[in-house]
Amino acid sequence: MRPVDQAAGHEGVLQDASGQLLFKPSCAQEVKFYTDVQGDENLAALAELMPRFLGTLTPGKMIENLNDSEATIVDGTIKIDNDATYIVLENLTNGFYKPSIMDAKLGKVLHDDSASEEKKQRLSAVAAATTSGSLGVRIAGMRVYKDNQPIVYDKQYGRSLTEETFHTSLLDFLGHLTGEHRDYVVSRLYMDLKAIESAIEESEIRMKSASILLVYEADPEAFLQAKQYAETQQEDNQSESSEDSSVSAPKLIAHARIIDFAHSSIAPDQGPDTNVLEGIRTLTAVFDRLIDGEI
């Protein structure tokens, strides 16, 4: 077990040795949301755009040594912090050699109805002072490779952006990429954002403080390998019988997924989540401007 490279959020998100699995301290509401979405065939398109949910690790069952405060792996047994329940997810940074990551938090309203008065006021104040309130989306954080070095943009970075300067976050994220590398990354991310937009339009759910996680391969060599991999995948589509997903060679160019459902629930007969849609549309609009060469 080792820490995963995070763009934002609470620390303590872990991955297994292979990098395929991610372990995040979580809560009953997030477990319920994953379970509800994966069990509802009307939400199949949405489920495709979330990390795969594999289950939970419950303290007392999987943990041998309750005095351990850190996650370790000993003799093949996972030992983790004893007072957190972890959810086990697909690690969205797996398949990348040098993943650049952006966490874009969605919504003008960031609290759910069950939040305390104090929390409602605090989150409303943050929204009012940031692009959450004006654009329905705010950069919670980024971790971007530039010249082979990871550069961390913390939460203050995203809070300091305004309606007018929000688009510069996209330039800080991927504006330094050039040529084919840039074109592929931009088009893959854009494709996923559009898919997320339409899945949300067709789903009856409510998400508060969920994010879109955008990830791309920052290493130029690894990008070329991933591109080649994608091309061979296409060629021997049917002949490829057993795909060895444990090999950690760079395989992905870029993708975007929705994450963080501690305050999300399904909402039958309530229609689409317009609070979240507004933020997604802001993001796709900034991508449109980038693609058109306007920024």
Which residues contact ligand ADP by CB under 6 A?
4, 6-10, 13, 22, 24, 51, 89-93, 101, 103, 211, 213, 259-260, 262
Name which of Mn ion, ligand ADP, none residue 24 binds, using a CB cut-off of 5 to 8 Å depending on partner kind.
Answer: ligand ADP
Residues 6+ apart with CB under 8 A from 99: 5, 93, 143, 215, 216, 217, 218
Please report whether residue 30 would count as binding Mn ion according to CB under 5 A. Answer: no
State which residue has the least CB distance to ligand ADP: 9
Rounded CA-CA distance 55/8 in Å is 23
Give CA 265 to chain center in angstroms. 18
Q: What angle do CA 210, 31, 100 make, to 5 degrees?
A: 45
Minimal distance, residue 136 CB to ligand ADP, in Å: 17
260 binds Mn ion (CB under 5 A): yes
Given a contact cutoff of 8 angstroms between Cβ atoms, the answer to whether 277 and 200 are in contact is yes
273 binds Mn ion (CB under 5 A): no
Strand ranges in 169-263 using DSSP code E only, listed in sequence order: 205-207, 211-217, 254-259
Q: Which residues pair with 102 in a beta bridge?
A: 142, 214
**232 φ/ψ angles, rounded to the nearest 5 degrees:** -65, -35
Residue 6 touches which of ligand ADP, Mn ion, none (CB < 5 to 8 A by kind)? ligand ADP
Task: For the CB of residue 240, give the shortest distance to ligand ADP in the complex, in Å.
Answer: 25
Token pair listed for 101: 């990551």
Q: Reduce the DSSP state of residue 260 to 3 states and report it.
A: coil
Total residues interacting with Mn ion, rule: CB under 5 A = 2
Residue 262 partner contact from ligand ADP, Mn ion, none using kind-dependent CB cut-offs of 5 to 8 Å = ligand ADP
CB of 293 to Mn ion, least distance (A): 32
The smaller minimum CB distance to ligand ADP, of residues 93 and 100, is found at 93
| 213 vs 254 by CB, closer to Mn ion | 213
Output 119 or 289, the one with its CB closest to ligand ADP: 119
Q: Which is nearer to ligand ADP, 7 or 135 (CB)?
A: 7
**CB distance 21 to 93 below 8 Å:** no
Q: Considering only 125-133, 170-178, 236-244, 254-262, which stretch makes contact with Mn ion by CB under 5 A?
A: 254-262
106: partner contacted, choices ligand ADP, Mn ion, none (Cβ within 5-8 A by kind): none
Q: Which is nearer to ligand ADP, 103 or 273 (CB)?
A: 103
Instruction: Please state the closest distance from residue 8 (CB atom) to Mn ion, in A.
Output: 6
Cβ-based neighbours of 228, under 8 Å, separated by 6 or more: none
9 binds Mn ion (CB under 5 A): yes
Contact between 12 and Mn ion by CB under 5 A: the answer reads no
The SS3 assignment for 67 reads coil
Residue 79 · residue 72 · CB < 8 Å: yes
Residues in the chain: 295
Q: Give min distance, CB of 42 to ligand ADP, in A.
A: 23
SS3 10: coil
| Coil/strand/helix, residue 220 | helix
The amino acid present at 22, given as its one-letter code, is: L
Q: Which residues make up the interface to Mn ion (CB under 5 A)?
A: 9, 260
